[in-house]
Amino acid sequence: MAAIGSRGSSGSINAWVNYGRLEGHSRIEDDGILAFVSNSSFLHKNSFDGFRAVQEADFNELWVLDLKGDARTSGEDRRRQGGNIFGDQIKVGIAIYCFVKKKGSKGFKIFYDAVRDYAKADEKMEFIQAPLSTRTMQELRPDARHNWLNLPSAEFEQFIPIATKETKATKIEGQERAIFKLFSLGISTNRDEWLYDRDQKVLTKKVRQLIGAYDAIPPTTKTYPDTLKWSRNLKRRLARNEREPFSAKRIVQASYRPYSPRWLYQSDVFTDELGLADELFPPTGKNVGISFSAPGFRTNYCALAVEGVADLHFGAAVDGYQQVTRYRFEGGKRLDNVTDWALSQFRTHYGDNGITKDNIFAYVYAVLHDPKYHQTFTSNLKREFPRVPFHRDFKRWCTWGKSLLDLHLGYLSAKPYALKRTDVSDAKARSAAQKPRVILRADERAGTIVLDTETQLSGIPGEAWEYKLGNRSALEWVLDQHKERQTKDVSLRRLKLAPYSFSDHKEGVIDLLKRVTTVSLNTVEIVDAMKKEPRA
């Protein structure tokens, strides 16, 4: 049990957590009720397991009305949350809590009622008018881990973990008990505009400017000029006089967003949180990895093969992303990141000594794309790293995984889908010697993409939109990452670099959209086949 006032399993803390414990002890000695309105995350977030454990110990009953309204979600989940009962003033979901303490009673019961999905704010106001005594409340039974809602499946615990902190930490091979030795969060630069770019030359210019501005500041400084975007980590590194000369070898291809690589300056000083990027994707080594939604994800579960280090927010700005790789690097030497323990487990289970670590990597990739797996174990995946079941037909899943890896890593080589292109001159823009206005808007129902005021693509099959990665389809990721955006960084504006212009990349984007359409259709075809496959 986490002590109240301490941080939960993922670092969250909230003043209401302390309030609930202190009020429960100071004002309710034998019998009484503690009622308040607060964040609905207490009901289901993994990071509040400590809070829930304390309430189970301090009270005998909880009567709760879940009003939903969490605006930090996205897509269909966001729509299901409905409006917030407080309008647009807050973004968190809301719940009404009534904790009951009864002298002489033992145990803890939860009585739960929730407003319907998609409800608007005015409907939620009506929902809370009914007294508790008139409601048909659902009784929830907490599990041993203090989960109250969306209880995880016990079956999940029988599967093989793809990664664990214990396996990552151990120095003894015989103590490894996961498929992959190392894993890491995606990198968090905290200064993306400085350290990422489409153009290698532009990135070089930005980084040289960044290093020069940083080196001009003494480690004893108490003021931090706006020539840099500062963070706590960068201030600490400056105080320790950590310096880093420019090196072209640090410029690598990174997996910034799905099907949207960028050049990255893989810096030990200026990257806020590098994680294990140097062990998984060193600047001088080649590797293949899988970036996947970290526990606590709010958007659609996402897993995608990558050939460069992935960004922390790879598939959604509101979600974190973890990554595992086929290999790891130590002292310049390439080592297997798939453990011998995992190889032994698979060979023993299937009675096949011909199974290789490449086979296991492909098998894992297939399982992470299985829609039935996502649906059945969503609650588990939101609480912990994936675990992999032993499906009946290993070779079939391995073949699917290999096909998906080839598709997703080789997307630039996919055959362009025959989309219809329609061009109509924007006479007004042309007469004013201006470029067509950039639109980059998709219409799933119509099967079209409008690129700008002159060009439209049509004939996009409906199935292509089904290939979702986090909060967007693959096609929508291409559009999103080619929008023209104004830099917010004052120092970057002073550099007067040539701004990104969609028109310079338009033909390349059209070609990419055609190829990603093919990749999307082929992915959906494989995923649909998975739905029909027996699991046991």
| 151 or 117, which is more confident | 117
Return the pLDDT at 142. 87
Residues contacting residue 276 through CB under 8 Å, at least 6 positions apart: 182, 183, 184
| 10 or 389, which is more confident | 389
Report, as an integer, the average pLDDT of 70-79.
81
Closest CA to 276 of 405, 180, 179: 180
How confident is the model over 512-527, as pLDDT tens digits? 999 999 999 999 999 9
Report the alpha-carbon distance of residue 517 to residue 536 in Å, rounded: 33
pLDDT band at 24 (very low <50, low <70, confident <90, very high): low
Q: What mean pLDDT, rounded, does the chain reach? A: 92
Which residues on adjacent β-strands are paired with residue 118?
Answer: none
How confident is the model over 253-305, as pLDDT tens digits? 999 999 999 999 999 999 999 999 999 999 988 999 999 999 989 899 999 99
How confident is the model over 7-20, as pLDDT tens digits? 344 344 455 555 55
Closest CA to 153 of 374, 386, 372, 377: 377
Return the pLDDT at 27. 62
Q: Which of 17-26, 146-155, 194-203 has the lowest mean pLDDT?
A: 17-26
In 3-state terms, what secondary structure has residue 530? helix
Report, as an integer, the average pLDDT of 361-379.
97
Report the alpha-carbon distance of residue 323 to residue 304 in Å, rounded: 10
Return the pLDDT at 5. 33
Residue 77 tokens read as: 């989940």
CA of residue 412 relative to chain centroid, distance: 24
pLDDT band at 194 (very low <50, low <70, confident <90, very high): very high
Residue 302 tokens read as: 């996402």
Radius of gyration over every alpha carbon of the chain, rounded to an integer in angstroms: 26
Report, as an integer, the average pLDDT of 378-388.
94
CA of residue 278 relative to chain centroid, distance: 21
Residues 303, 308, 310, 316: is their CA dihedral positive or negative? negative
pLDDT band at 4 (very low <50, low <70, confident <90, very high): very low
Please tell me the pTM assigned to this model.
0.83
| 340 or 72, which is more confident | 340
In 3-state terms, what secondary structure has residue 419? coil
